[in-house]
Amino acid sequence: MVTIRDVATAADVAVSTASRALNNNPRISQKSRDRIQLIAKDMGYRVNSNAKNLSLGESNVVGVIFPVTKVGNQENTFHIDMMRGVNKELAPRKYVMSVAMGQTDTELLSNVQAMVLEAQIHRFILLYSKKNDMVTQFLSTQNDVRYVVIGEPVDSGTQFYVNNDNVLAGFDATKFLERTYNSKHILFIKSNKNWNFEIQREHGFNHAIDELKIKRESSNLGLRHGNDNSDRLISYIKAHSNVDGVVAADDMIGFTFFNFWEKTFNKDIPVIVFNNNQLFSRMGNNNFHCVDLYPDKLGQEAAKLVFSDDTRGYIVVPHKVR
Amino acid sequence: MVTIRDVATAADVAVSTASRALNNNPRISQKSRDRIQLIAKDMGYRVNSNAKNLSLGESNVVGVIFPVTKVGNQENTFHIDMMRGVNKELAPRKYVMSVAMGQTDTELLSNVQAMVLEAQIHRFILLYSKKNDMVTQFLSTQNDVRYVVIGEPVDSGTQFYVNNDNVLAGFDATKFLERTYNSKHILFIKSNKNWNFEIQREHGFNHAIDELKIKRESSNLGLRHGNDNSDRLISYIKAHSNVDGVVAADDMIGFTFFNFWEKTFNKDIPVIVFNNNQLFSRMGNNNFHCVDLYPDKLGQEAAKLVFSDDTRGYIVVPHKVR
DNA sequence: CTGTTAGCGCATTCAT
DNA sequence: ATGAATGCGCTAACAG
């Protein structure tokens, strides 16, 4: 392994000079910097991050925190896309990405604690937003750690958020149905999880309904994720046969609804869901629409924010109906 | 920050003794170990991984390498489940997980190189298997790095694999259709990506067809992921109206086919796909089946292997038709 | 603009 | 069974 000492010797300078040159410190003349960097490159020099991190008291790592979810959860797709966005910002900064997961809240917290207290990680991105979250609370008490939350602002202790405008997204989705299909009896459905983003989308839906002065259908269908709700869903659909458009807060639920409707009445119903995912481009059905929330952009903006010098920030990533 | 020196002082022993005690070194009496560990715990001592790693010349990190894929790729779900499996094995070993991604082969390789040469990571898990892969080739040349590949063995330089038996999975899937639906004209469809695992499943399919002495339908339908193949698919379906069962090498393709068939002929066709994903438990359709490949188990076994003392290993994770 | 030196926290060799 | 001393590779304070 070639160390900075070897580089210094080869360049006939002191280690500190080599160190500064390699870190582009302006205290070293541009000429020397170029020369030393070239020598280092020729020798195949690579920093030892452990040594560097130890010396700096901080790791070149961004901790990416996943929500506590089960195997097979479909939301997962969204999360990977966010990671991809984060990843884009890391390489130029010489940072890497570590992941914290857990099967329970405590397990997750414990992983995050190790990241802060043992691995000296000071930058985190949470791929979820949750009220009274143990992880968020822990991070907010730690000095010198900066964390960015992707999702609805729910916690006054958190200074950095990246989010879509879910109210506007719900509004746009609803207007889209009315404009495109002339729908007058639009139904809003959501999961029974009480996610904040679903509530926001419903608010947007309500605003649009009011503005358009059309009929709002009852929306208290709480489909349970991952269970078989066939009977319940079918009877629900039959009781709402007058509906001519559906805004689904959750893409999988919208998809399920769409399929059952088609099966029950043997015809399509216009459905619009949120989140983009390749599934929909392969449906091959023109009545199935999607508000693309650009998860990769969410991740990318979060990464930018976690490196910015600001003391607070709230980035809104635009969506697109299609 | 409380360091090992503080612990040593508090316990009235030398730093070296404290270090050994905290690492459960048998050279320290059990009594001293217990006493020192208790003191450390009371003081809230935490190892500094950077210091430890620097000293040992190796990081307590497992690098998890993603294939080069685009945003919105549905395979993503499978990958996250594998990560979850890996994660299970890490905490007890005091290891953490870093992720390498890239938009191109070279970008990915560059990230992995940084992990080995800069971050001193010696253990890797590849979430994909690919012939002539730059990353695999790089890793195989590095001393003291151990990597486990999840997928079909394709590279003689790789000593550790974890995989499903995809031939058997294809065989079982086909037999399942015949047994359950008495299908006699079974179609096998795959993507146009030439993935090794798809070819294996097709072999299994062929074996089953031969053994059952039933009709094998032509299977050269190369659906392109993420594109609109509606016209092509519909004409293909119409040309194969005698088919009474489908084995789809790729879950999304199977799903697409299922939907189009239903739309075209206004009735279901039995379909069986691979990979588990919550989607299918919500289809609410009894004709849609899945061979569960247990991605989380794949990840978990890979993690075990990357920590084992063996010099080579090939683990097969069983599947289950349902 | 550059060099000397100390120190980050820990593991380990060598001594006792 | 335990302690003292050295070094891992790098940065930064201080000195010139």
**In whole angstroms, what is the distance from residue B253 CA to residue B237 CA?**
13
B322 confidence band (pLDDT: 50, 70, 90): confident
> For residue range B213-268, what is the model confidence (pLDDT) as tens digits?
887 776 666 555 444 556 677 777 888 888 889 998 877 778 778 877 877 787 88
| Distance between first and last Cα of chain A | 53
Share of chain A above pLDDT 70, in %: 90
A235 CA vs C2 C1’ separation (Å): 82
Instruction: Decide: CB of A192 under 7 A of nucleic strand D.
Output: no
| Distance between first and last Cα of chain B | 53
**In whole angstroms, what is the distance from residue B71 CA to residue A73 CA?**
18
Does the beta carbon of B87 lie under 8 angstroms from any beta carbon of chain A? Answer: yes
Q: Which CATH superfamily is domain B166-292 in?
A: Response regulator (3.40.50.2300)
> For residue range B112-147, what is the model confidence (pLDDT) as tens digits?
999 999 999 999 999 999 889 999 999 999 999 999
Q: Is B157 exposed, middle or buried (0-12, 13-18, 19+ CB in 10 A)?
A: exposed
Quick one: pLDDT at residue A71? 61
- Pairwise CB contact (< 8 Å): B282 & A72: no
B6 CA vs D5 C1’ separation (Å): 18
H/E stretch holding A177 reads helix A166-181
Mean model confidence pLDDT for chain A: 88
Cβ-Cβ pairs closer than 8 A, A with B, add up to 179
**In whole angstroms, what is the distance from residue B46 CA to residue A112 CA?**
13
A226 confidence band (pLDDT: 50, 70, 90): very low
Most confident of A67-76, A143-152, B270-279: A143-152
> For residue range A27-54, what is the model confidence (pLDDT) as tens digits?
888 888 999 999 999 999 999 999 999 9
Amino acid whose CA is nearest the C1' of D4: B14
- Pairwise CB contact (< 8 Å): A278 & B252: yes
Q: Do B70 and B281 meet the contact criterion of CB atoms below 8 Å apart?
A: no
Answer whether residue B172 shows pLDDT above 50.
yes
| Cα distances (angstroms) measured from residue B275 to each of A20, A65, A217, B321 | 51, 25, 37, 10
A235 confidence band (pLDDT: 50, 70, 90): confident
Q: Give A148's contacts (C-beta < 8 A, 6+ positions apart).
A: A124, A125, A126, A160, A161, A162, A302, A303, A305, A306, A313
CA distance A212 to chain B (A): 33
Quick one: pLDDT at residue B226? 45
Amino acid whose CA is nearest the C1' of C8: A55
Does the beta carbon of B281 lie under 8 angstroms from any beta carbon of chain A? Answer: yes
Q: What is B61-164+296-321's CATH number?
A: 3.40.50.2300
Q: Do B212 and B178 meet the contact criterion of CB atoms below 8 Å apart?
A: yes
Quick one: pLDDT at residue B253? 75
Measured between CA atoms, the residue of chain A closest to residue B48 is A118
Does the beta carbon of A131 lie under 8 angstroms from any beta carbon of chain B? Answer: no
Quick one: pLDDT at residue A211? 92
Instruction: Decide: CB of B51 under 7 A of nucleic strand C.
Output: yes
- Comparing B242 with B149, the larger pLDDT belongs to B149
**In whole angstroms, what is the distance from residue A140 CA to residue A146 CA?**
8
Quick one: pLDDT at residue A102? 94
Average pLDDT over residues B296-321: 95
H/E stretch holding A110 reads helix A105-117
**In whole angstroms, what is the distance from residue A125 CA to residue B292 CA?**
32
Mean model confidence pLDDT for chain B: 88
- Comparing B272 with B260, the larger pLDDT belongs to B272
**DSSP 3-state of A24:** coil
Checking phi first, is residue B123 left (phi over 0); if not, alpha (psi -120 to 50) or beta? beta
Average pLDDT over residues B34-61: 96
Which residue type, as a one-letter code, is found at position A205? F
Total residue count of chain A as it appears in this document? 322
Please list the residues that pair with A163 across neighbouring strands. A316
**In whole angstroms, what is the distance from residue B28 CA to residue B304 CA?**
29
Q: Do A260 and B284 meet the contact criterion of CB atoms below 8 Å apart?
A: yes
Segment 246-275 of chain B within 8 Å of chain A by CB: 252, 256, 259-260, 262-263, 266
Domain ranges in chain B are 4-47, 61-164+296-321, 166-292
Q: Which residues of A touch B74 (CB under 8 A)?
A: 77, 277-279
Average pLDDT over residues B297-312: 95
CA distance B299 to chain A (A): 12
Q: How many CB atoms lie within 10 A of CB A217?
A: 17
| Cα distances (angstroms) measured from residue A159 to each of A82, A145, A167 | 20, 12, 21
B16 CA vs D9 C1’ separation (Å): 21
Fold agreement (A61-164+296-321, A166-292): yes
| Closest-approach nucleotide to residue B32, Cα vs C1' | D1
Does the beta carbon of A231 lie under 8 angstroms from any beta carbon of chain B? Answer: no
Sheet holding A96-100, edge to edge: A313-317, A160-164, A146-150, A123-126, A61-65, A96-100, B96-100, B61-65, B123-126, B146-150, B160-164, B313-317
| Cα distances (angstroms) measured from residue A230 to each of A3, A233, A260, B230, B259 | 64, 5, 8, 28, 17
Q: Do A72 and A53 meet the contact criterion of CB atoms below 8 Å apart?
A: no
**In whole angstroms, what is the distance from residue A316 CA to residue A129 CA?**
15
Quick one: pLDDT at residue A217? 76
Share of chain B above pLDDT 70, in %: 90
Does the beta carbon of B118 lie under 8 angstroms from any beta carbon of chain A? Answer: yes
**Nearest Cβ partner of B74 from A48, A233, A277?**
A277
| pTM of the predicted structure, to 2 decimals | 0.91
> For residue range B99-110, what is the model confidence (pLDDT) as tens digits?
999 999 999 999
